[in-house]
Structure 1
């Protein structure tokens, strides 16, 4: 490398540096204020000779699509989760008024009753009991057709007896089953009895013993009409029918509980006392249905048919005689 000696100009110090060399003219780029802010791009000869590649989409767009899918799935999952705990409007009033008291849905169509129980249960947070499934599980059968009517009634009565101490459940007894026996109603009175009656003008229902029982013992009646034709929104499927009944049932149940605000407390008290069958006139805790039955079946002694009257006070039976003090009966 040859050294270059630069002659100092007038008023400048001499500058000698053997490491410096002259810059070739081809590498000198004229300065421009317009492109002062732009950064120069240097490319090699090999890179310039290559053909341009296809445009690769940005990964940020793909990430945005994935985020939208994940967010949509999350919203769908939260919607399903909130379906069982959503309590607004009439639903909120029903939950607060029931105070965990169970419900019992009666009616001619058990499939409709159970579907309504599932819809109402999802809104209230109550559990709908599938009685045919439980009965088949207890009897180790695949369907109810494998059981006789007596076996179904006995097993159903056992299930209903087990549910009497359970809160926040919805039972749908089978039509013409265990509910035809009066002893089963001692267990059902611990819940609010609702009769779901779907009316079809083309197929009117006659007055049967089961319908007479529903009419006599139901505490709340919900009557709906079957919608037919192409104008029915969503079709006349079982699920749509159940949703229509639920939309009508919840406001009426809210109004009924508001009309009788003490009903839920009395139902809970009836269950806590053991479902003794004294509904709606609750007896003191010392009252026993067994003693009451013995007093009703007791016959007066011979010779005292007209003078003695047998009465029951608590669990002790006493004989009141005319003009004589009260003495405990032996």
Structure 2
């Protein structure tokens, strides 16, 4: 192997810096070190101590050891294309629901996710309009917020058995996502909370969301994953969607049985017993199991 100045390059000229989630390769030359490869974010975690490399006639050959051999890497680096492909495989067709305080932001993120995952984008705001020929605002003015909640809940019930959809929900009250006891149908898929925060750094935003999930102070804290938004403009949808994909990837890799569990929850009728799914005879009203002759497969 030779460098740019045609001088021979040996192992002593090469520096391979393998980290848990990053990889850097530099070559030393009389002009100083030159970075020839840089991956700030690998698709998954590796074992740095087990990184093996050598130089053949024309290139540096590298072997990385993944910490989880069962996780398929669409590519070496974690980027939009690899995330959409990898998360789509992990979801196994399970739908995604986007919740949060802004209807418009939820929809913008949902459209980006749907395009990347090759899912169908759906918006409950538009579905309400199609269903009753009134917008949620008009319905609230005529019949009150409760009617909006009930209508969106009915639509989400009807969508619960759908697969390969990204569903954008109404933002804030009276949307179903903002109601603590109204998540029965949302649990049919994986939920993403778009959390608009005033935190000035990522760590504080994560702590804020973690506290909300721990104390149950917000209905949105029931979501499977959280994306913190410090601000919003017309270019924010893709980064927010990419953050959602990263969060979903980590969540699904943590328990690869979750899509199957979601499927079981739907088949049993989305009774509100997520994540502790009760036996088929369980009555959500009484909290007791009742004998039934129905067979579940």
| TM tier relative to shorter chain | 0.5 to 0.7
For the 8 Å contact 1:286–1:315, the answer to whether it is kept is yes
Structure-2 residue corresponding to 1:144: 136
* CA spacing shift, 1:150–1:289, aligned 2, 3 Å: closer
For the 8 Å contact 1:288–1:315, the answer to whether it is kept is no
Q: Distance in 2 between matches of 1:178 and 1:247?
A: 25
SS in 1 for 2:252: helix
1:260 to 231, 242, 255: 255
Deviates more, 1:176-185 or 1:265-274: 176-185
For the 8 Å contact 1:121–1:127, the answer to whether it is kept is yes
Structure-1 residue corresponding to 2:280: 285
Instruction: Report Cα offsets for 1:236-272 as digits up to 9, x if no partner.
Output: 32xx111121122212211211112111110011111
Structure-2 residue corresponding to 1:223: 228
* CA spacing shift, 1:315–1:181, aligned 2, 3 Å: farther
1:276 to 271, 278, 296: 271
SS in 2 for 1:128: strand
- Greater Rg by CA: 1
More helix by share: 1
- 1:125-140 aligned within 5 A: 125-140=118-133
- Structure 1, gaps ≥5 residues long: 1-86, 228-235, 296-311, 317-330
Instruction: Report Cα offsets for 1:154-209 as digits up to 9, x if no partner.
Output: 2111101101111111222212123355663221111111111133469x99x999
Instruction: Report Cα offsets for 1:118-158 as digits up to 9, x if no partner.
Output: 011001011121211111122222x3332122222221111
1:96 equivalenced with 2:89 (yes/no): yes
1:117 equivalenced with 2:110 (yes/no): yes
* CA spacing shift, 1:186–1:201, aligned 2, 3 Å: closer
For the 8 Å contact 2:109–2:238, the answer to whether it is kept is yes
SS in 2 for 1:105: strand
- Structure 2, gaps ≥5 residues long: 1-79, 293-297
SS in 2 for 1:189: helix
2:245 to 225, 243, 250: 250
SS in 2 for 1:101: coil
TM (normalized to structure 1)? Answer: 0.54
For the 8 Å contact 1:103–1:171, the answer to whether it is kept is yes
Structure-1 residue corresponding to 2:162: 166
SS in 2 for 1:222: strand
More strand by share: 2
Structure-1 residue corresponding to 2:219: 213
TM (normalized to structure 2)? Answer: 0.59
For the 8 Å contact 2:97–2:167, the answer to whether it is kept is yes
CA RMSD of aligned residues (A): 2.9
Q: Distance in 1 between matches of 2:124 and 2:188?
A: 18
Q: Distance in 1 between matches of 2:111 and 2:189?
A: 17
SS in 2 for 1:196: strand
For the 8 Å contact 1:161–1:184, the answer to whether it is kept is no
SS in 1 for 2:218: helix
Matched pairs, number: 197
* CA spacing shift, 1:198–1:100, aligned 2, 3 Å: same
User: How much does 1:276 deviate?
Assistant: 1.9
Structure-1 residue corresponding to 2:192: 194
Structure-2 residue corresponding to 1:38: none
- 1:12-27 aligned within 5 A: none
